[in-house]
Amino acid sequence: MKKVIAALLVLAIATPALAATMSATQISGTEVKLSYNATGDPQGLIRAFGIDVTVTGTDVNIVDITNANVAYDIFPGSIELDAQGNISAPGDPVGSTDNHADTQPGKNSKGVTLEMASLLAVPLAADDLCVVVLAGCEDITLTVANNTPRGGVVHNNGAVSDSSTSITVEASTLDQAQYALWLGYGKPINWKSCCWPLGDVDNNTFVTFGDVSYTYTDWLNADTSGRSDADMNSFLTFGDVSKVYTDWLNGNSCP
């Protein structure tokens, strides 16, 4: 029995306790989903988040936060209370930007500070937290990190976990269905350009008759790469040629 107890003590010392983690997953050309997992964490469920989300690059900004987890419905950085202490305005997950020393600039910038807390609701041990909405067409790095002055990732018992995670994002104009189709095609590079929806099939940042010719040639050759599926319907037909031809006639120009 003593040997069994000793073995269990060694195992307990050698095996670290499970800690809460965060992850980021790109779900469209404009969206990155943030998730958390505190399953098995001895510190208990996560009660609040005070975290920074930042992006690199020159062409991509964070423009919004959507699909916020309903269990985290208190926003300490922007909530408004009346004289009786009742909530008069719930606020927004993007925390106050009044103090730039400890918060990111906010929406339409390279960084936001998220402040989300759960007061009465009981959150799940593992769930999605929110979706970060981006604007721009550029490969970037999106990073999540604790904002210590704003609390970090706080558990029921007051302990704090590390939220650090990062992801390479291939930002574009593609919505979730188009993004899935793009992945299925093997990521044709021209789809990533902001000029792609305007008819720039040959990826030279101009919409010219050359794009029509490019698409027509791919149609004749029954190309399967997806690079000329201009209407993004998962088929290369003469309809794609017609779409690019119309884009050219309309004088579409890239931003």
Residue after which a domain boundary falls, among 117, 148, 170:
170
Residue 99, in any domain of the structure: yes
CATH number at residue 75: 2.60.40.680
Same-domain pairing of 37 and 163: yes
Residue 77 has pLDDT above 50, yes or no: yes
180 in Cβ contact with 29 (< 8 Å): no
Residue 1 has pLDDT above 50, yes or no: no
Residue 253 has pLDDT above 60, yes or no: yes
Q: Report the pLDDT value the prediction gives residue 12, as an integer from 0 to 100.
A: 32
Residue 198 has pLDDT above 60, yes or no: yes
Same-domain pairing of 152 and 181: no
Q: For all residues of the chain together, what is the average pLDDT?
A: 89
Residue 90 has pLDDT above 90, yes or no: no
Residue 14, in any domain of the structure: no
Same-domain pairing of 146 and 211: no
> Tokens 């190309």 correspond to what residue?
223
Same-domain pairing of 166 and 180: no
Same-domain pairing of 156 and 185: no
Most confident of 11-15, 80-84, 237-241: 237-241
* DSSP assignment letter at 150: G
Report the alpha-carbon distance of residue 194 to residue 142 in Å, rounded.
19
Residue 84, in any domain of the structure: yes
Q: What residues contact 45, with CB distance under 8 A and at least 6 apart?
A: 38, 122, 123, 125, 155, 156
Q: What angle do CA 11, 41, 22 make, to 5 degrees?
A: 120
Same-domain pairing of 147 and 27: yes
Which three-class secondary structure string do you get for 25-39? EECCCCEEEEEEECC
Q: Report the pLDDT value the prediction gives residue 137, as an integer from 0 to 100.
A: 95
Same-domain pairing of 90 and 214: no
Same-domain pairing of 81 and 206: no
Same-domain pairing of 110 and 223: no
Residue after which a domain boundary falls, among 170, 188, 206:
170
Domain that holds residue 83: 19-170
What does the pLDDT look like over 105-129, one tens digit per residue? 999 999 999 999 998 889 999 999 9
Helical packing angle, 209-220 and 238-249, nearest 10°: 180
CA proximity to 116, closest of 69, 53, 155, 163: 69
Q: Report the pLDDT value the prediction gives residue 16, as an integer from 0 to 100.
A: 39
- pTM, two decimals, is 0.89
For the chain, the domain total comes to 2
Residue 217, in any domain of the structure: yes
Same-domain pairing of 54 and 108: yes
Q: Record the tokens describing residue 208, joined without a space.
A: 């010219």
Beta bridge partners, 81, equal 87
Surface-to-core class of residue 196, CB atoms within 10 Å of its CB (0-12 exposed, 13-18 middle, 19+ buried): buried
